Amino acid sequence: MHVQYLGGGFGRRGAADFVTQAVAAAKTTGGRPVKLIWSREEDIQHDWYRPAAAIRFRGGLDAAGKLIALECNVVTSSAPDFGRPGGPPFYTEGVATANYAIPNFRVTGVNQDLGVRFGFWRSVNDSHNPFMFEGFIDELAYAAKQDPYFFRRAMLQAPRANVHRQMAEKARWRHPPAGHAFGIAAFEAFGSLIGTVAEVSVEGKHVTLHRVISAIDCGVAVHPDNIQAQLEGGMVYGLTAALRGEITLENGAITQTNFNDYPMLMMGEMPTVECYIVPSTAAPGGVGEPGTGPIAPALANAIHAATGTRLRSLPLSRHQLTFAVTRT
């Protein structure tokens, strides 16, 4: 067996079904070398998929508009808890690990077998749970008639507030360009605090993403250039999924086959991205995966700020929207 270097495998390399196939084939060849290749069509149609997930929320505000109670019930397919007895279920990441100071906070979950095999997708549960969680926090802010950024800031203490502050300052949150709107999302992932502000404009059903501002507190910044590269790459990964990443089944089979019906973000569609590293003396945290999750909730929250329409499911193309980018 000759193990090859792999770039871009992400969670797929955690499943070894292709190794079993190669061994089974090699046993029939009388010692001759075997080369096993999955076509892109085979890989898309026989992959291990990010699990379907849904969360039901209930929140309570006091007379001053402060969030005093939040209940979250997560339903998804999940892997075991990886040796973390007594802790929250693995699939509640991005929800049970919320940074906000909420006096009454309860997270429950149901590990439901949905009949489709699932695997680890870049940033794992932090790739989809924050879309729902940060979307509901945004809904609570509007229900309280408060600015979404300041509503969040009121529930945070330093250093957890530093990422929000950095993003808001760089975006000039109080002063969006004429006809533009901001959306914000931030959470803890892989030992780092990560957040994104999306700047959009909307005309009818057409959304233009003008700018993405990302900030991270990953402890000591060992390699700043690599951190920026990971944040940009993670954002592209998450943005592609948020806009177009849909897998559907028909008669028990996956209908998508290649990039014609599972399209990737093209280079010409890349928005302007600004990445900021919050100074810290804490132990280094992760940077390879956290950047994937914040763009989906930030973008959906920005669309709501621009239109008043709340988007609660992914991909956003399900909502009959078209998208473009403008680089500044």
Query: Strand pairing partners for 325?
Result: 209
Q: Is the dihedral of CA 237, 296, 158, 181 positive or negative?
A: positive
Locate the DSSP E strands across 178-220.
Answer: 181-189, 192-203, 206-217
> Is there a single domain that holds both residue 188 and residue 235?
yes
Cis peptide before 315, with omega less than 30 degrees from 0?
yes
Q: Is 36 found in the same domain as 99?
A: no
Same domain, 282 and 218: yes
Contact 286, 226 (CB under 8 A): no
Q: Measured between alpha carbons, how far is 97 from 105 in angstroms, rounded to an integer? A: 11
> Per this entry, what is the length of the chain?
328
42: Cβ–Cβ under 8 A, 6 or more apart, which residues?
Answer: none
- Which backbone phi and psi does 199 adopt, to 5 degrees? -110, 120
128 lies in the same domain as 179: yes
Name the E strands within 35-103.
53-61, 67-76
Instruction: Break the chain down into helix, strand, coil percent, rounded to 5.
Output: 30, 25, 45
Q: What is the pLDDT of residue 321?
A: 86
Q: Tell me, yes or no, whether 185 and 202 share the same domain.
A: yes
Q: How confident is the model at residue 154 (pLDDT cuts 50, 70, 90)?
A: very high
Q: State the average pLDDT over residues 298-318.
A: 96
User: Which residue, among 232, 130, 234, has the nearest Cα to 185 in the 3D structure?
Assistant: 130
Q: Which residue has the higher pLDDT, 4 or 90?
A: 90
Could you tell me which of 184, 220, 217, 183 has the C-alpha nearest to residue 200? 183
pLDDT tens digit sequence for 123-137: 999 999 999 999 999
Q: What would the mean pLDDT of 9-33 be, rounded to a whole number?
A: 84
Look at the chain and report how many structural domains it folds into: 2
Strands 192-203 vs 206-217: parallel, antiparallel or unpaired: antiparallel
- Residue 1 is assigned to a structural domain of this protein: no
pLDDT tens digits along 161-195: 999 999 999 999 999 999 999 999 999 999 999 99
The reply to whether 282 falls in a domain is yes
CATH of the domain at 227: 3.30.365.10
Q: Are residues 174 and 36 in the same domain?
A: no
**Residue 262: count of CB within 10 angstroms of its CB:** 17
Selected residue with higher pLDDT from 296 and 326: 296
Report yes or no on 143 lying in a domain.
yes
Distance CA 50, CA 247 (A): 9
Average pLDDT estimate for 106-112: 93
**pLDDT for position 11:** 76
Q: For the chain, what is the mean pLDDT? A: 92
- The pLDDT tens digits of the residues spanning 33-92 come to 888 888 999 989 998 898 999 999 999 999 999 999 999 999 999 876 655 666 778 899
Per-residue pLDDT of 208-225, as tens digits, reads: 999 999 999 999 999 999
* Domain co-membership, 177 together with 243: yes
Do the domain assignments include residue 4?
no
Q: Are residues 31 and 122 in the same domain?
A: no
Q: Are residues 18 and 144 in the same domain?
A: no
- Give yes or no: residues 101 and 226 share one domain: yes
**Could you tell me the CA-to-CA distances from 67 to 73, 146, 151, 165, 267 in Å, in that order?**
18, 11, 9, 20, 41
pTM passes above 0.85: yes
Residue ranges making up the domain that contains 277: 53-325
Q: Under the phi-then-psi rule, with left for phi > 0, alpha for psi from -120 to 50, and beta for the rest, what region is 38?
A: beta
Tokens for 195? Answer: 């957040």
Q: Looking at the domain assignment, is residue 185 inside a domain?
A: yes
CA distances from 320 to 23, 136, 243 (A): 46, 22, 11
C-alpha 76: how far from chain center: 16
Do 37 and 165 reside in the same domain of the chain? no
pLDDT at res. 33: 84
Q: With respect to residue 238, please indicate whether it lies within any of the assigned structural domains.
A: yes
Tens of pLDDT, residue by residue over 260-284, are: 999 999 888 889 999 999 999 999 9
CB 140 within 8 A of CB 72: no
| 292 & 316 share domain | yes
Split at pLDDT 50, 70, 90, the class of 328 is low
